[in-house]
Structure 1
Amino acid sequence: MISDHQDTSDRRRLSLSVVRDTCIVATLVVLGLYAGAAFLIPLTMALLVNVLIIALSDRVIAVTRAPVWIANIAGITVVLVGLFMIMYVLGSQATQFARSINTYESQFDGAVERITGLVGNDVTTFIRDNLVSIDMSYVARILLGSATSLLNQFFLISLYVAFLMAERLAFRKKIQLAAGNPQTGAEFASMLDAISFSLQRYVGVKTFISLITASISYAVFRTLGLEYAETWAVLTFALNFIPSIGSIIAVVFPAMIALVQFETIGPFLIIVLGCGTLQFLIGNFLDPAMLGRSLNMSTFLVILALMFWTTVWGLIGAFLSVPLTVCILIVFSHIPALRPIAILMSLDGRLDEDDRPQSAS
Structure 2
Amino acid sequence: MTLEPDQNTGGPRLRLSVVRDTTIVATLIVLGLYAGSAFLIPLTMALLINVLIIALSDRVISMARVPVWLANIAAVTVVLAGLFVIMYILGSQATQFARSISTYETQFDGAVNRVTGLVGNDVTTFIRDNLVSIDMSYVARVLLSSATSLLNQFFLISLYVAFLMAERLAFRKKIQLAAGNPETGAEFTTILDAITDSLQRYVGVKTFISLVTAGISYSVFKALGLEYAETWAVLTFALNFIPSIGSIIAVIFPAMIALVQYETIGPFLIIVFGCGTIQFLIGNFVDPALLGRSLNMSTFLVILALTFWTTVWGLIGAFLSVPLTVCILIIFSHIPALRPVAILMSLDGRLGDDNAPARTQ
- Name the TM-score, length of structure 1 as normaliser: 0.93
Map 1:125-204 to 2 at 5 A.
125-139=125-139, 145-204=145-204
Tell me how large the CA RMSD over aligned residues is: 2.1
Instruction: Rate the CA distance shift 1:138–1:309 in 2: closer, same or farther, 3 A.
Output: farther
> Displacement of 1:341 after TM fit?
1.0
1:110-148 alpha-carbon deviations (Å, 9 max, x no partner): 111112222333333333333334444555555664443
Instruction: Rate the CA distance shift 1:331–1:136 in 2: closer, same or farther, 3 A.
Output: farther
Q: Please say if residues 88 and 151 of structure 2, whose CA atoms lie closer than 8 Å, have aligned partners that are also in contact.
A: yes
Q: Please say if residues 146 and 316 of structure 1, whose CA atoms lie closer than 8 Å, have aligned partners that are also in contact.
A: no
> Displacement of 1:181 after TM fit?
1.4
Distance 1:326 1:136 in 2: 38
Q: Please say if residues 94 and 143 of structure 2, whose CA atoms lie closer than 8 Å, have aligned partners that are also in contact.
A: no
> Displacement of 1:224 after TM fit?
0.7
Q: Please say if residues 296 and 346 of structure 1, whose CA atoms lie closer than 8 Å, have aligned partners that are also in contact.
A: yes
Write the letter of the residue equivalent to 1:71.
Answer: A
1:35-82 alpha-carbon deviations (Å, 9 max, x no partner): 111111110011001000000000001111111111111100000000
The answer as to 2:23 corresponding to 1:23 is yes
Map 1:48-127 to 2 at 5 A.
48-127=48-127
Write the letter of the residue equivalent to 1:274.
Answer: G
> Displacement of 1:105 after TM fit?
2.5
Instruction: Rate the CA distance shift 1:249–1:136 in 2: closer, same or farther, 3 A.
Output: farther
Displaced runs of 4 or more, over 3 A: 4-12, 133-147
Structure 2: which 5+ residue stretches go unaligned? none
How many equivalent residue pairs? 355
Write the letter of the residue equivalent to 2:231.
Answer: T
Match of 2:100, SS state, is: helix
> Displacement of 1:155 after TM fit?
1.4
Q: Please say if residues 94 and 148 of structure 1, whose CA atoms lie closer than 8 Å, have aligned partners that are also in contact.
A: no
Map 1:186-225 to 2 at 5 A.
186-225=186-225
Distance 1:274 1:134 in 2: 29
Equivalent residue, structure 2, for 1:329 = 329
Distance 1:277 1:150 in 2: 31
Distance 1:189 1:171 in 2: 10
Equivalent residue, structure 2, for 1:317 = 317
The answer as to 2:343 corresponding to 1:343 is yes
Distance 2:305 2:143 in 1: 20
Instruction: Rate the CA distance shift 1:316–1:92 in 2: closer, same or farther, 3 A.
Output: same
The answer as to 2:278 corresponding to 1:294 is no
Distance 1:223 1:263 in 2: 17
Q: Please say if residues 46 and 160 of structure 2, whose CA atoms lie closer than 8 Å, have aligned partners that are also in contact.
A: yes
Distance 1:321 1:332 in 2: 16
Instruction: Rate the CA distance shift 1:146–1:311 in 2: closer, same or farther, 3 A.
Output: farther
Distance 2:137 2:272 in 1: 22
Structure 1: which 5+ residue stretches go unaligned? none
Instruction: Rate the CA distance shift 1:350–1:111 in 2: closer, same or farther, 3 A.
Output: same
Distance 1:120 1:333 in 2: 53
> Displacement of 1:90 after TM fit?
0.6
Moved more, 280-289 or 124-133: 124-133
Distance 2:59 2:45 in 1: 21
1:312-347 alpha-carbon deviations (Å, 9 max, x no partner): 111111111110111111111111111111111111
Distance 1:54 1:359 in 2: 30
Q: Please say if residues 6 and 12 of structure 2, whose CA atoms lie closer than 8 Å, have aligned partners that are also in contact.
A: no
Distance 1:245 1:102 in 2: 29
Q: Please say if residues 329 and 342 of structure 2, whose CA atoms lie closer than 8 Å, have aligned partners that are also in contact.
A: yes
> Displacement of 1:101 after TM fit?
2.9
1:140-172 alpha-carbon deviations (Å, 9 max, x no partner): 555664443121011111111111111111111
Instruction: Rate the CA distance shift 1:236–1:300 in 2: closer, same or farther, 3 A.
Output: same
1:284-324 alpha-carbon deviations (Å, 9 max, x no partner): 01111101111111111111111111111111111111101
Q: Please say if residues 53 and 72 of structure 1, whose CA atoms lie closer than 8 Å, have aligned partners that are also in contact.
A: yes
Write the letter of the residue equivalent to 2:197.
Answer: F
Match of 2:227, SS state, is: coil
The answer as to 2:45 corresponding to 1:45 is yes
Distance 1:217 1:236 in 2: 8
Distance 2:11 2:296 in 1: 37
Instruction: Rate the CA distance shift 1:186–1:205 in 2: closer, same or farther, 3 A.
Output: same
Q: Which has the higher helix share?
A: 1
Instruction: Rate the CA distance shift 1:169–1:7 in 2: closer, same or farther, 3 A.
Output: farther
- Name the TM-score, length of structure 2 as normaliser: 0.93
